[in-house]
Structure formats: structure tokens, C-alpha cells
């Protein structure tokens, strides 16, 4: 069966510090991968998605970047965090094919102080 | 641009009641519609997926319907239980299987 992992589970970082969040998927190959952010009191916003290694599409202009160095690894990064980067970050995967479900990881709670 | 709306924003019902959560979307050109459950501080759990060619899907006490022409989906929960308390999110799948989410309905089932 497929599983999706995210770490760390929680993170408190000062403004201006770098960020690296990691997501890995097990039990599948060549998945589509997604990063979402859920800010307090707001809905889920798609940040990035990837259909293959090295292929990243950005949905909104922001202070963050994403990379996919391996087939089942998706990384969210920032060089300098802003207060507005605080939120709950969720990684998701979906099998190839337009009719498949998306499955979500447990999330990372990021607080920027 | 797809927009997804969920009403009500919050709902409180006594245990045992049947209830309906509503989801509407503005662009009917969707591949599927997915319902999720989110417990506080947790990730999303997929409940049901309805393909664009389907009218409904059932899983246990849950039944989801889809009317693409009117841009509506409903999630029916039968015989609600306190363990059903959570936020329920619907999401419409468009190009590149990108999901557009509603803001959710926060459900509380009381004893």
C-alpha cells in the first residue's frame, strides 16, 4: 500500500531563516506531487505541483520554492522566511491518470516568529 | 477560474441525525469531485471520489452526489456519531488534476 510522509511535524523558525520541508511517498512510482498551504481561517491553497523529476509548476508568486530531486521526494524551501509564511503545509500525491484520487500527508505546522 | 463554495460553514447536530453538507462549484468542466475529512491539526483523509461521469458514490454511512450541470455536490451522512465531528472539505479537480478546495464545513455531533 502507498504511504506519504512529511517532516518535520512542527517547526518554529525566526523571520529571515531558511526553510526545508520534505515529503516522500512510498509504494508507488511516478506520482504527481503537490504542496498546499492552509493558513489560519483560510482554505487550502495549491502552491506547487510536479508531474515528474525536476518538473515544477508554481501556482502563486511567493517567497517559497519547490524541488523534486527524486521520483518520490518533494521538497519545499525558502531562503528567508517571512511572517506570512506561517501555516500548515500539506503534501499530496496522485497516481498518473486524470481520474485518480489525491492522498494527503500528515502536514507540517510552521510558525514564523 | 474555478471557485468552490461550501455551506453551511458550521453545523451542530445531535447524535443520530442524518445531515447534508453542500458544495457548489462555478466551472462544470471538472474531472472529478473529492470529499475529504480533516480533524484538528491533522492532514486530510479522502472520503469519497466521484468521477465526472458518475452521479453518486457510497461508502458506509456516507453518500456523495454530483450534478455537474448545476455545479453542485452533496455529502449525506446517515445516523451521525460524535466521531463524525470534523471539518469536511470538497474539492473539484481540473486541469493537471489540480484541486480547488472549498473553505469547509465544520461539523459537531453532540451526545
Residue-wise DSSP of chain A:
--EEEEE-SEEEE-TT--EEEEEEEES-SS-EEEEEEE-TTS-EEEEEEEEETTEEEESS--S-EEEEEETTEEEEEESS--GGG-EEEEEEEE-SSTTPPEEE---EEEEE-
Instruction: Supply the DSSP symbol for B104.
Output: -
The pLDDT tens digits for A48-84 are 999 999 999 998 878 899 999 999 999 999 999 999 9
CA-nearest residue to B49 within chain A is A101
What the block records as the C-alpha cell of A3 is: 504511504
| Rounded CA separation A56/A52 (Å) | 8
Residue B14 scores a pLDDT above 80: yes
Mean residue pLDDT across chain B: 94
What the block records as the C-alpha cell of A30 is: 511516478
Nearest to B34 among A32, A102, A105 (CB): A102
* Residue B86 to chain A, least CA–CA distance (Å): 15
**Which range is least confidently modeled, A21-30, A56-65, B21-30?**
A56-65
- Provide residues of B within 8 Å CB-CB of chain A: 31-32, 34, 36, 41-46, 49, 51, 89, 91, 93, 96-104
| Cross-chain Cβ contact B49/A32 below 8 Å | no
Residue A2 scores a pLDDT above 90: no
- H or E stretch including B1? none
CA-nearest residue to A4 within chain B is B43
A and B: number of Cβ contacts within 8 A: 57
Cβ contact B55:B65 at 8 Å: yes
Smallest Cα–Cα separation from B41: which of A52, A5, A89?
Answer: A89
The pLDDT tens digits for B79-111 are 999 999 999 999 999 876 789 999 999 999 999
Residue B64 scores a pLDDT above 80: yes
Q: Is B35 exposed, middle or buried (0-12, 13-18, 19+ CB in 10 A)?
A: buried
Half-sphere exposure at residue A39, Cβ-oriented, CA atoms within 13 angstroms: 9
Residue A98 scores a pLDDT above 80: no
| Rounded CA separation B24/B4 (Å) | 6
Amino acid at each position: 500500500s502507498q504511504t506519504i510522509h512529511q517532516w518535520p511535524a512542527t517547526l518554529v523558525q525566526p523571520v529571515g531563516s531558511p526553510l526545508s520541508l520534505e515529503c516522500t511517498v512510498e509504494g508507488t512510482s511516478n506520482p504527481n506531487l503537490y504542496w498546499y498551504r492552509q493558513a489560519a481561517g483560510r482554505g487550502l491553497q495549491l502552491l506547487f505541483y510536479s508531474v515528474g523529476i525536476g518538473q515544477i509548476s508554481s501556482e502563486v508568486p511567493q517567497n517559497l520554492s519547490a524541488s523534486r530531486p527524486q521520483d518520490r521526494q518533494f521538497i519545499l524551501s525558502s531562503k528567508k522566511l517571512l511572517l506570512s509564511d506561517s501555516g500548515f503545509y500539506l503534501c499530496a500525491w496522485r497516481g498518473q491518470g486524470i481520474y485518480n484520487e489525491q492522498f494527503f500527508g500528515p502536514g507540517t505546522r510552521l510558525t514564523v516568529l | 477560474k474555478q471557485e468552490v463554495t461550501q455551506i453551511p460553514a458550521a453545523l451542530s447536530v445531535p447524535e443520530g441525525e442524518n445531515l447534508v453538507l453542500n458544495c457548489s462549484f462555478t466551472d462544470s468542466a471538472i474531472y472529478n469531485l473529492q470529499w475529504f475529512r480533516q480533524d484538528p491539526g491533522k492532514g486530510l483523509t479522502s472520503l469519497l471520489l466521484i468521477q465526472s461521469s458518475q452521479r453518486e458514490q457510497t461508502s458506509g454511512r456516507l453518500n456523495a452526489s454530483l450534478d455537474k450541470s448545476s455545479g453542485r455536490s452533496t455529502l449525506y451522512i446517515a445516523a451521525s456519531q460524535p466521531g463524525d465531528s470534523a471539518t469536511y472539505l470538497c474539492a473539484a479537480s481540473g486541469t493537471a488534476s489540480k484541486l480547488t478546495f472549498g473553505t469547509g464545513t465544520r461539523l459537531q455531533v453532540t451526545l
